[in-house]
Structure 1
Amino acid sequence: MVSIKRHFHPIGQGGFFSEHHKVGLGEEFVVVYDCGVAHNRSSADGVVKTNLLNGVEIDILFISHFDYDHVCKLKVLSSHVGRIKNVVMPLLSNDEKFRLTNLFRASGFNLLKLINSPEKFFGSTTRIFSVAPEGPRDGDGDDPRDEAAVTLDSISPTKSLRSGVKISIPIGTFPLSHDWVFIPYNYESVTNLALLEAELTKEGISAHLIKTDPKYTLDKSIVERKVIKDVYSRLPGGINLNSMIVYSGPESCTSRLRLRKNLQDRIEIHKIPWLKSHAGLVAQKYPVWKDYFSDEDDLRDVDFIFDDEFEYLFQLPGCIYTGDVDFNQVDIPSVFREVWDQVGTLQIAHHGAAPCFDDSILKNQKLICPIAVGTKFLRKYGHPAKSVIDSIIMNGCVPVFVTELNEEFIQVIS
């Protein structure tokens, strides 16, 4: 009997998610997606050092992108777990490595070894795989999703993986009937590049030297740290051009696996019949909800949308982890069209920021939408935006806040 637990850890404004695939009391296959928090908050170390991962081997660590709030706790994670066997991360061109090296150095973020020498960052016992970037999909040409699934132990990390490759759990580890796959897709944003270069030029910083001279920002007379930080903070997608989305779920629509439970602080969300009840409960326990439901009328209005029990609506086991990708730029249902009918959970990107959100992704699918967000960022940055929460609810989907004040959000699949 295969069981899976998916954990959205309460790291706050950042990203830290894990999946634990088990067969009885024996084999376990563990996956982590991102590990970081805004401002490298030391109080988050205890979240990363969860007993769940103490001394445990991580089979695959997926890194969505290199924003500090998604990767700054990787060293804490590495020291806490037994071993990280494989890392799958976006492939960076030399231009992008130099650009990130310059910009992160000037911003005060210590990520140079992770970007330029991931093999040294993680150590010799970890294999590093890079996923080649792609832009928006046009038509149905050559498509790696039509290829057979591969296991990481069967391929060499010297050659980059194609976006859309299916990664399976090694044969022999789990029954053949466990047809679970992980599909990484590394989106490279031309739009973000144009915005970044325009902002740098406006501030008198050479967009050319930023990407060709890795020592450019060492000269403090050329680049002021505050200027770089300002550019970083005002760009909707930050300064990263790549963001790797990952599908985790059944490869086949005939899978018998179903999402059985959604738990937060021992409250079984999916067994509560109406959003009115759910919102009322969590508004009392989690302060962040009070900003979205001001009175009983708000709850009454949305109650009409949820006139069926959650347990009949939200059973699809697949999840898409989205990092900080811009929903306006990537047609995610199209990218993952082969498995989209298995997706029941969608991590809302960029902590629910309005500029990176497009509600067309919520059409025609009942989705549970976890949002990793820091409670202090609601008023400061509008994360998550009320318009995003409204869109999720009005489309019949369920927002779930994963903050530093909450218990972790857990999904049970069997």
Structure 2
Amino acid sequence: MIEGEFKFYPVGQGCFYGGSIKKNEEEFVIVYDCGTVSSRKFLLDSITKFKRIFKKIDLLMISHFDEDHVNGLSELLTGITCEKVIIPYYSPITRLTLLSNYDSSDEYISFLKDPVSYLLNTDKFEINEVLIIQNEDDNNSDFKAPEPKSPTENSNFENLKSAFDLIQKEEDKDFKSKVKIQEGKDYVFSEKAKYYSLPFKISIYNEFWEFIFYLKNFGNPTEIINFQREIEELLNKTKDNKLSSLFDKTFIPNIKNIYRKHINGDLNYSSLSVFHGPIANENLNRIRVSIRNSFHFPINRRKSGTLLTGDSFLKKDEDYYPFYNYYSSYYIDKTLLFQVPHHGSWNNWRFFPNELSNIPCYILNYGHKRKKHPNKYVLRDLLTNSIFKNVLHNHQYQEIKYKIRIRSY
């Protein structure tokens, strides 16, 4: 038997999701995001509980760089080994805009200045590898995640390979060259950093469990172009005329003024979405799912995956259809739990009818009694217009814990 046990931790306005996939004494530990802008007590308590159970992390996935999704990374990664971290790529200019949204701590500024160096070159972290993901082009209907091959008869539970036995992709050299240009000529590549373009997937345990990654192509919004023009003028006030020098608290007031001048509201930042779950095949006899404090039921093996979306935007056609086309009806039909993007925000949700209506369970992460999240009309839509009408709430006073068990003949 392989058993996946996962939890949306009670951290408030943010996200901290983690758990493990087990076979006998073997355990593959995952985390998706780790941050909050609610009281940090909730996040620190959750990290402490997580580290009491798990002594290592195999796969840490970061959806995007907003503070409420990353500001617990230092506490999470200190004193624990981490095999791989997967992050989306954002240019230095884009990372500078994030300094405008928060009263930034030194830790957060250091992360935004150079996320790869922050993760790999910090003495207190033990990280083996960082994988950086981009989406070069998703504007055609043929851009899809590869559907898996069923494990062979010889790929059984009793003869598991090591984890990460299938990263079926070569490093993207063109993407790596682009990063060099955008980060600046003095940017130093680490041997522990790898650069990949979508489509990208990871399979583990002889292809019995898969992770499918999606990232909307951020493009080059007009607001960013105008923001960048004034940022280039601000470079004249630095000692070395380097963008990296602007990641300093002394420049944050100037950056905030430029942001307010050229960017009306929040930018439509791209988020790394992840589908993960068992691969249904002839060797699986039964999949059973139990969700703590909610419901308990055996379920069709096609409904056994989790789709994590971070703060993805799905409202507009140009955002929704690339997302849906990439995962296609194959993965959407396999999804059991769907994380409603951006804490149930009106601006991120595509109201029904749409192809997401037959997902059995929707997860809302938000800060308890927060005014805007979740939006009441989004919640009403989920409760009245979805087929199964199951919505689970995750905030600082409510965790969501569930198990997925799969058995072989």
- Give me the TM-score of the superposition, normalised by structure 1: 0.72
CA-based RMSD of the aligned residues comes to 3.7
More helix by share: 1
Change (3 A) 1:4 1:87: same
1:120, 1:131 → 2: CA distance? 19
Range with bigger deviation, 392-401 or 219-228:
219-228
Deviation by residue 1:25-62 (Cα, 9 ceiling, x = unmatched): x1011111000001562342001111565452110000
Deviation at 1:94, TM superposition (A): 4.5
The code of the aligned residue for 1:186 comes to L
Change (3 A) 1:106 1:374: closer
1:260 to 277, 289, 293: 289
1:151 to 166, 179, 183: 166
Deviation at 1:365, TM superposition (A): 1.8
Q: What corresponds to 1:269 in structure 2? A: 295
1:40–1:69 contact (8 Å) kept in structure 2: no
2:300, 2:378 → 1: CA distance? 21
Matches within 5 A, 1:385-404: 385-393=375-383, 394-396=385-387, 397-404=389-396
The code of the aligned residue for 2:217 comes to E
Structure 1: segments with no counterpart, 5+ residues: 272-310
Q: What corresponds to 2:83 in structure 1? A: 85
Deviation at 1:362, TM superposition (A): 5.1
Matches within 5 A, 1:220-239: 223-224=253-254, 227=257, 235=265, 238-239=266-267
Deviation at 1:139, TM superposition (A): 2.4
1:342 to 334, 338, 348: 334
Change (3 A) 1:187 1:222: closer
Change (3 A) 1:55 1:45: same
Secondary structure of the 2:289 match is strand
Q: What corresponds to 2:141 in structure 1? A: 139
Q: What corresponds to 1:287 in structure 2? A: none
Secondary structure of the 2:65 match is coil
- Give me the TM-score of the superposition, normalised by structure 2: 0.73
Change (3 A) 1:242 1:355: closer
2:6–2:17 contact (8 Å) kept in structure 1: yes
Deviation at 1:107, TM superposition (A): 4.7
Secondary structure of the 1:18 match is strand
Deviation at 1:84, TM superposition (A): 1.1
Deviation at 1:334, TM superposition (A): 1.6
1:319–1:344 contact (8 Å) kept in structure 2: yes
More strand by share: 2
Kindly tell me the number of residue pairs found equivalent between the two proteins: 352
Say if 2:113 is the partner of 1:113.
no
Change (3 A) 1:62 1:403: same
Deviation by residue 1:85-106 (Cα, 9 ceiling, x = unmatched): 1101112334435555x54787
Deviation at 1:215, TM superposition (A): 3.4
1:395, 1:112 → 2: CA distance? 41
2:132, 2:251 → 1: CA distance? 35
2:346, 2:8 → 1: CA distance? 21
The code of the aligned residue for 1:346 comes to F
Deviation at 1:371, TM superposition (A): 1.0
Deviation by residue 1:152-171 (Cα, 9 ceiling, x = unmatched): 599775441222212011xx
The code of the aligned residue for 2:327 comes to F
Change (3 A) 1:8 1:105: closer
Q: What corresponds to 1:21 in structure 2? A: 21
Secondary structure of the 2:216 match is strand
Q: What corresponds to 2:132 in structure 1? A: 130
1:11–1:47 contact (8 Å) kept in structure 2: yes
2:289–2:402 contact (8 Å) kept in structure 1: no
Secondary structure of the 2:121 match is helix
Secondary structure of the 1:10 match is coil
Q: What corresponds to 2:363 in structure 1? A: 370
2:243, 2:39 → 1: CA distance? 28
Structure 2: segments with no counterpart, 5+ residues: 150-163, 172-191, 236-241
Change (3 A) 1:153 1:27: farther
Secondary structure of the 2:18 match is strand
Say if 2:161 is the partner of 1:161.
no
Deviation at 1:111, TM superposition (A): 2.2
Deviation by residue 1:326-384 (Cα, 9 ceiling, x = unmatched): 0121333321124332111110111001111103555452331111111131x2xx200
